[in-house]
Copies of this chain bind each other. A is one copy, B any other.
Amino acid sequence: MRRVVIIGSGNVATSLAHGLSARCEVAQIYSRHLGHARSLADAVGCPDATDDLQALVPDADAYIIAVSDDAIASVLASTPDNGALWVHTSGSKPIDLFAGHRSRCGVLWPMQSFSREVVVPLDDVHFFAEAGDEATLPDLLALGHLLSSHVAVAGSDQRRWLHVASVFSCNFANHMWTLADEVLKSQGLPFEALLPLIRTTVAKLDRLSPASSQTGPAIRHDNQVIASHLSMLDDDKREIYRLITESIMNRNPIDDNAQ
């Protein structure tokens, strides 16, 4: 695993390119947009950028496909099986995508939320690896360990469940903060005021399960506060507030001894 080609220049590709360039040679970066490929290549000291899949260097040890889920199949269809290790990085696409296209293949899924603006240090990220066959697993794990010290084997089915859970944990929790931000902005109040509260809520997860550290009007069945909140919100937020409050209440039936 000395020379790696990165296919993609988006959020995931950017973090992978930064991580890999410190541990091996990033030989080439491909993007549909040459400018994107070139600026990522420049940022990580890679000598070769291209927007032409036919111009991929033929002799790398591994090719990492970090494009949008729907574009993976067309990348595979447009490029030859050169006997190298080909890897995709999608949480939701099965390894079967490679079937009939590549002899040595695998999935390396970083369970992390990447954005182009922030290069995430990969060493704390948990990667889940699935190899096309037993013989390919050692090379796949070697590639994974260039990226992070947390690499676990997980099949396509487990990856799907981990992906669903990460959507709730990350994307949906983050959307709750977006809604809070909108509520505060509408009143000229700063979102930053919530950050200490959010940090404390997360810190509790080190010691308690989320279910057992829940607080607030829903778990207290405080119908007066809930009704008042519902009356303050616009349609979109009101429906979300109502549904999540119900979901919390259903898991925590009223307890006459509770205060």
Q: Is A197 an interface residue (CB 8 A)?
A: yes
With A118-B208, A193-B152 as contacts: A179 and B168 at CB distance below 8 Å: yes
Please tell me if the beta carbons of A194 and B166 are within 8 angstroms of each other in the complex: yes
Contacting pair B181 A220 (CB below 8 A): no
- Which of B92, B114, B211 makes the CB contact (< 8 A) with A178? B211
A248 touches B215 (CB 8 A): no
CB closest residue in chain B, given A184? B165
Could you tell me which residues of chain A, from 113 to 153, have a CB within 8 Å of some CB in chain B? Answer: 113-115, 117-118, 120, 124-126, 150, 152
A82 interfacial by beta-carbon distance below 8 Å? no
Residues on B with beta carbons closer than 8 Å to the beta carbon of A92: 217, 225, 228-229
Q: Which of B189, B206, B217, B224 contacts A161 (CB 8 A)?
A: B189
**Which of the residues B196, B217, B222, B240 comes within 8 Å of A247, measured between beta carbons?**
B240
CB neighbours (8 Å) of A68 from chain B are 220, 222, 259
* Cα–Cα distance between A32 and B218 once the two chains are bound (Å): 23
Q: Are B244 and A160 in contact (CB under 8 A)?
A: no
Give the residues from 206 to 236 in chain A that come closer than 8 angstroms, CB to CB, to chain B: 206-211, 213-220, 222, 224-225, 228-229, 232-233, 236
> What's the nearest-Cβ distance from chain B to residue A193, in Å?
4
- Chain A residues proximal to chain B, CB less than 8 Å: 8-11, 31-33, 36, 67-70, 92, 111-115, 117-118, 120, 124-126, 150, 152, 154, 158, 160-181, 183-184, 186-187, 189, 191, 193-202, 204-211, 213-220, 222, 224-225, 228-229, 232-233, 236-237, 239-241, 243-244, 247-248, 250-251, 259
Contact sample, A vs B, 17 pairs, CB 8 Å cutoff: A69-B222, A113-B201, A126-B193, A158-B189, A161-B187, A162-B184, A163-B225, A165-B189, A167-B229, A168-B241, A170-B216, A175-B244, A178-B210, A178-B211, A178-B248, A195-B205, A195-B206
